[in-house]
Structure formats: C-alpha cells, structure tokens
Structure 1
Amino acid sequence: MTTGYRPELIHRAFVDFISTRLHPFWSLNVPKLRLIARRILSDELIALQFEPNCAFKQQAFSSSHRSGHSSHEGWHGGQHINLSVLIDGVYHQRSYSLVGLPQQPLWWHEDSEQKPHKNNNNLNNSFDKKSPAQIGTSTVTIAIKPQGRVSEYLTNHAVLGTVFDSSLPSGEFTLAQARLGQQTSEKRSPISVQTSLLFIAGGSGITPMLGLVTQALKYGHKVTLLHYSRMSLGENILQKQWQQLATIYPNFTYYLINTEDPSTYLAGSRHLSAASLLALSPSLSSSLKATLNTPSNVSLDSTLSDIQIFACGSPALLAGLYRACDDIHLPLGKQLRDNIMTESFSHTLLDIDEADEKAVTSEAKTIFLRGRQRQFNSNTTLLMGAENAGICLNHGCRQGICQLCRCNKISGRVKNIQTGKISNDGYESIQTCINVPMTDVVLDI
C-alpha cells in the first residue's frame, strides 16, 4: 500500500447511493430541493418555495464563510440556482433567480389571508404547520414566469413534495461584484455606502431585484427602483414589498410604470430614455439637464459617475438603457454605461452594430485555457472559437441566459456582444457564449 494513503472505510458516494434509495431527499454531497408551496405574486409571476436538504444548507453556508462573507449569509441578493427537472424521462436544467435573502421572512408571510397557489393541495406537508417566520427562514424561494416547457411544468404540473437536484447559489449580479467604471486592478474594490444605486427592471426581471434592493438598503445605500410592467398599481402585489421598504428606509424611492397607463410614464414616454432618468430624482436632475442641453466637452457635475446601475429585463429595455446612457456625457471621458450591470431573461440579442451582430473581431486572438494547458485562436465568441478548434467547453443556451458557460477570465479584454461593453484587463467572471476577444485572453478552464 502506498505510504501515507488512508482509504475511506465507507465512501461518501456509497452512502449517497444507499441513502437516495431510502429517500430521494437524502444526500451527503448533492444539493437537493423539495417543492413545498406555490404562491401567486401576479399575473406574470409565481413564487415556488423549496425546502433545502442538509447538503444544500451545509455547502451553501460554508462556501459563503470560506469566501470571506459572514457564515450566516448563504447567498447574496441577485444570485440564482440551477434546477435539474425531469420531464418525460429527459432532464432539463434551468437557471432561476432567488427571491429574498436567507434568514429573512418574505413579506407575503405577514399576510394572514394569503391565498396559496391552487396546486398547494397536492400535498399535506409541513408548510401549513410552520409559523411565518419559520417558513421564511428555512426555505429557498424562486419566482418564475409560467412560460416555456420547464417553467410551465414547475408552476402547473410538478406535484408538491417533488425533489429536484440543484446547484448552490451563484452568480455575479450582486452588490459584491459591482464596480464603478473600468478598473485595471485585478482586486475588486467594493462599492461604498455613499454610492447611489439605481435598479431598473422590466416584467419578470424584477425577481433578482427583490433580494438586491433589500440587501442594498441594509448596507445603507441610497436606492432608487424603476419597474416597468403591464400590471396596474392595484394588481401589482409586489407594491406591498416596496411600500414596506419605503416606510422603513427613507433613502428608498420606487417608481412603478404600467406600460399601458400613460399617467404612470416618466417624461411622458413609456420607453426608457435619458429624459426618463432625468425624472427619477432631484439628485440626477441638474446633471442630466446639463448633459442633454450642453455640448459633450462641457465640464459637468460628476455625481453621475458615482451611480451604480443594475438592470434586468428584455433586450429592448436594456438597449434603451444603453442608448440613454450614451446620451449622457460625464466629465473626464467617463461613460455611464461602464457603471451598468445587466441580466437578461430573453433569448433575443440586443440591437447591436453589424460587426457585433456577426460576433467577430478584425483578427484572431489567442485564447489560453490555463487548467487544460491548451490554446486556440478565435475571432468569434470564445465558445464558438473553442468548438471550431475541437475543444469542448461547458454551455447551455448559447445566448447568455442560462449561465452554464460562465468561467473566470484571468487576463485579457473581451467584448460583450449583447451590451457592447469591453471588460477590464484583469480577473473577472464572463460568459464564453456572448464574449469575443479583443486581446489575447487567459481563461481559468
């Protein structure tokens, strides 16, 4: 026997093999979620609540502790999980944003007259026996739009009590990952409490905002929320959450835009524009008026340089945001679009120029995969370039939605073909399916 080798008397994989056959929810290694309740949030959104198994809780909370965050956090607002869903004998994997924060009761649990989703009677489980506080702090909740094969199955057909394999919470759409402007340093400098935060959401894009806004307010940021939706104010159940937060936090302002009601429009338009941003708050007003009515070389107040924008919604909404930011000129050559972090829930790319639409650069760049000690040349997306070279990389939707292709870039600059934004030269998380190399790139793969 090799010196120093200590064999496991009982392998964890063997224990998992036995335990999952005794009960599908039991596992030492695999994070699993059990569906326990549904809740109608609006005509567009259904909240699904899951009970996590011990493997999920142990790994989620210990990973946050190892990463330097408080061990009670578990995950951050804006992060997501990947669910594996078995439909007609075929596994499908989808990414869903987490609602709220761990150890935080969700606002609808305070409603004594809550009406659960019609399919809640499929299982007589402990959901009805727990107190509202217990429900909110012991579950994982997502909010989804019941369209598409997997989402429709989860909202209308999956029996309560069904167990799903899950990933741990992950994602870069968080306060911890936000940085103002393009910085060359590999070390991330977190946004300060003095930084104002603007959250812009369209339709179901509000789901990652539910945790992000709450977390930002707890950290002491000044927060403005702009939500575009087809629901009227009376039908918007989420308004209760925003009203509660506005009561607790004086530095929180929200605007609900019903796209069918002109009386709710900003600057008289249902579309997002520079004039819409102007109407958001007095703190933005003076700078935006100056930028809209003066030449771009005029020295302006730099308050806009200190605003971090989070946006999630349709390609049309995100494209409008980038056009609005391009109409705003900041001093010292800064660009407001560099302060934007986005997520998109649609399969349609943004309106981009012809070169980006072809997803090619002028000449091939060298892409080095550090973990595999291999390299290839690419003048198209990193994923397509690897495949052209006969190298298989993880991927899913190939359109920037599912996050399965996300990896860490060690060095080099890439361009996001959906937003047109060019990355910094240092370490950051990127998606290979929607980024083209602008220089030689090193990936941690």
Structure 2
Amino acid sequence: MPSFRPLSRIASAFTTPLTPADYLRLVNPLSSARQLRAVVTAVQPETADSVTIRFRPGKGWNPHEAGQWARIGVEIDGVRQWRSYSLSTGAGQDPAITVTAMGTVSTALVRGTRVGDVLFLAPPEGDFVLPEHPRPLLMLTAGSGLTPVMSMIRTLVPRRADADVVLVHSSRTPEEALFAEELLELADQFPGFRLVQWFTGERGRRLDLTTTSDLDAACPDWRDRASYACGPVDFLDAAESLWNREEGELRVERFAPVVAPGSGGEGGRITFEKTDKEVEADGSTTLLDAGENAGVLMSSGCRMGICHACVTPLLAGQVRDTRTGEVHGEPGHLIQTCVSTAAGPVSLDV
C-alpha cells in the first residue's frame, strides 16, 4: 500500500527554504503557530496625547472580561517590546487599548500606529472585573486609571436596566479627560449611571481620600456600594487606607508595583553575562531598568510583577524583592527583574 506524506511536507518541497507558513503570513498577517497576533482596524484620537487602538485578534485569542488587561508587543527599531494595557472596550466587543504617550512603548503606539499594522498579543488576564451578581457600584478613577473602568461601564450600563453606577473621575482639565463626550452621553441617556467629573485644574487639588468629606459630597451612599479604584499610586494608597478604616469593600487595579518601605537595599554591580555588560545600580533601580538603561535587550511585560514575562535566571548574587523587601536568590533561581533590585553584586543570564 502506498504511503502518503502530510500535505504540509509536500508543500514544503515547493517553498524551501521558506515554509508554507511564511507564505501564508504574506496573505494573512494574523497567521502564526508560534505567536498570537492582531491587525489594527482603527486608531481613534481621545485627547492630544491619547488614542484608542482597535484591533482584530487572530486565532487563539480568548474574549476578554470587562476590566481585564493584555500584554501587547510592538516592534521598535527592530526590537520587540512588550507592555501591559487595560482593554477599554466592553465584554463581547472586539478589543481595544487606550494609550497615553508616556514612555517609549506607549509613545510609539500613540504616535506611530496605523490601520493595518500588526501587533503581537498575549491572552487577556486580570481579576479586576465586575461582581458576579448585580449591585450598586462606585468607580473611583484618576487619569488613565479610567481605562479598565470604561470597559466595565460600556459592558454594564447600556445592557442592564437595573444598573446603578456612580463614576467619580479625576483629570486635570476637561480637554485631558478620556472618553469625556461618551461619558456625558451615557449619563444623559441612562438614569442608572451618574458621572462626577473632578477637574484638578479648576479645584486646585485631587479628590481628597484622606477623609470622607469629598466622597460624602460626591456619592453620599458610597459606604453601601461595591467600590473599584484605579489610578496613580498615591491615589490608590489613600483609597485603600480609607476603606480599611471604614471596613468597606474596595477592589484596586494598579499600573505600578507595590513597593515595600525600605525595600531598596544597597544596590551593587549587575553583570549581564550573555551581552558582556556591567553596570552599577543603586538600591532603588530594578534589574530591568538597569539593563534597559545599559542597552541590554530585556524581556518584559507588565513591569509590576504580575505576568512573569521578565523572568531571568540568576547566575550569582542575591536580589531584593521591591514588594516585600525580602532578600533571596540562589544560582539557577528564576527572578522577576521588574520587581528585583541588586542586593550586592549580581550576575544574570542575559
């Protein structure tokens, strides 16, 4: 009986030295067996420095829940850089990220992304999501912290007649406020959604969460609501402290890692063995930042100790975890460079 080779092997005979997949990607840029990709379908300006980038993922993407985030990869000067971004569209909709031009990768996305560009993806993650059962909600956001909450609002408010959501959003000016027109339209159209805009340029300060007075005025029944907060570190620290005192229910989404007091350590010389580079770093500079500042190609993702994309083998020395202050490390251990600083001389397998 004759034997039949798989079609892929037959096709390879005609495409060598390339593979059939290489030719398929010329026709369909989303086709890849190794890396999830997406094609940009729209780039919508939000403010002078922010855009919403909508994209169509290829096979392997899992539909996101409202409030989740995903790692996005983009090629910059021939190097693939990864960052984590909250998904701003509602659950069940094609995904999008809303990006503000801050930092190398975000600025490249805002200034350089065009329809038809290909992005690299990782599946959505995160537990900053809507409660399982309907209940009154309070959303506290500042700046780009509105992004994951906007996904929740777009999911809940237009779809449920019993939605009861209060959003208190802080931004510097009306011109710098994300999604300003859409939020005003939602508040006008749906009685179950109330918007409180807090403009620091007009009031001279951000919403004060060291006491309850601002909250009492903005949302008198805030203690009876399930609350969510997202924004700058000091804003979230104050919110957590207030809710702990009041014994309330609060979920927080941070865009930066929690740093334990006194966790910086002494620093030291960091040796990147594979690239033959050395750099002195103080106790407050993470191994990831030290490597990137020295021109070393470092893997990264969320940059806050969640996704583990930055995990790197430790060859020698010890490191300090910025979240706990703990010093640890043995040769061969895998460490997260985005939340580790040098605790003396360190050698990395990079």
- Is 1:308 aligned to residue 226 of structure 2? yes
Q: Deviation string for 1:80-132 (max 9, x for gaps)?
A: 2211211122111111111222555xxxxxxxxxxxxxxxxxxxxxxxxxxxx
Shift of 1:39: 1.9
Q: SS of 2:89's equivalent?
A: coil
Give the direction of change, closer, same or farther, for the CA distance of 1:158–1:249 in structure 2 (3 Å limit).
Answer: closer
Residue ranges of structure 2 left out of the alignment (5+ in a row)? 13-18, 266-286, 288-298, 311-320, 325-335, 340-350
Shift of 1:205: 0.9
1:301 maps to none
Q: Root-mean-square deviation (CA), in Å?
A: 3.9
Q: SS of 2:156's equivalent?
A: helix
Shift of 1:148: 0.9
Percentage of identical aligned residues:
23
Q: Check whether the contact 2:68–2:127 (CA below 8 A) recurs between aligned residues.
A: yes
Alignment of 1:214-233 (within 5 A): 214-217=154-157, 218-219=159-160, 220-232=162-174
1:396 maps to 300
**CA distance in structure 1 between the partners assigned to 2:87 and 2:147 by the alignment:** 7
**CA distance in structure 2 between the partners assigned to 1:150 and 1:405 by the alignment:** 16
- Is 1:100 aligned to residue 38 of structure 2? no
**CA distance in structure 2 between the partners assigned to 1:432 and 1:342 by the alignment:** 24
1:276 maps to 214
Give the direction of change, closer, same or farther, for the CA distance of 1:401–1:146 in structure 2 (3 Å limit).
Answer: farther
Q: SS of 2:47's equivalent?
A: coil
Q: SS of 1:173's equivalent?
A: coil
Equivalent of 1:43 in 36, 39, 48: 48
2:191 maps to 250
Number of corresponding residues: 277
2:80 maps to 91
**CA distance in structure 2 between the partners assigned to 1:401 and 1:255 by the alignment:** 33
- Is 1:162 aligned to residue 117 of structure 2? yes
**CA distance in structure 2 between the partners assigned to 1:77 and 1:31 by the alignment:** 21
Q: Check whether the contact 2:51–2:100 (CA below 8 A) recurs between aligned residues.
A: yes
Greater fraction strand: 2
Shift of 1:398: 8.0
The one-letter code matched in structure 1 to 2:107 is: E
Give the direction of change, closer, same or farther, for the CA distance of 1:15–1:29 in structure 2 (3 Å limit).
Answer: farther
The one-letter code matched in structure 1 to 2:185 is: Q
Shift of 1:199: 1.1
Give the direction of change, closer, same or farther, for the CA distance of 1:418–1:223 in structure 2 (3 Å limit).
Answer: farther
Shift of 1:318: 0.5
**CA distance in structure 1 between the partners assigned to 2:323 and 2:142 by the alignment:** 17
2:69 maps to 80
Q: Output the TM-score relative to the length of structure 2.
A: 0.66
Shift of 1:216: 3.2
Q: Check whether the contact 1:344–1:401 (CA below 8 A) recurs between aligned residues.
A: no
1:426 maps to none
Give the direction of change, closer, same or farther, for the CA distance of 1:193–1:398 in structure 2 (3 Å limit).
Answer: closer
Equivalent of 2:127 in 172, 180, 202: 172
**CA distance in structure 1 between the partners assigned to 2:91 and 2:116 by the alignment:** 21
Shift of 1:24: 2.9
Equivalent of 2:242 in 312, 316, 324: 324
Q: Check whether the contact 2:86–2:148 (CA below 8 A) recurs between aligned residues.
A: yes
2:270 maps to none
Alignment of 1:54-73 (within 5 A): 55=59, 59-60=60-61, 63=62
Give the direction of change, closer, same or farther, for the CA distance of 1:202–1:164 in structure 2 (3 Å limit).
Answer: same
Give the direction of change, closer, same or farther, for the CA distance of 1:418–1:243 in structure 2 (3 Å limit).
Answer: farther
Shift of 1:315: 0.4
**CA distance in structure 1 between the partners assigned to 2:309 and 2:34 by the alignment:** 23
1:291 maps to none
1:391 maps to none
1:69 maps to none
Alignment of 1:361-372 (within 5 A): none
**CA distance in structure 2 between the partners assigned to 1:397 and 1:141 by the alignment:** 18
Q: Check whether the contact 1:47–1:143 (CA below 8 A) recurs between aligned residues.
A: yes
Q: SS of 2:201's equivalent?
A: coil
Shift of 1:9: 5.7
Shift of 1:276: 2.1
Q: SS of 1:154's equivalent?
A: helix
Give the direction of change, closer, same or farther, for the CA distance of 1:403–1:311 in structure 2 (3 Å limit).
Answer: farther
**CA distance in structure 2 between the partners assigned to 1:15 and 1:342 by the alignment:** 46
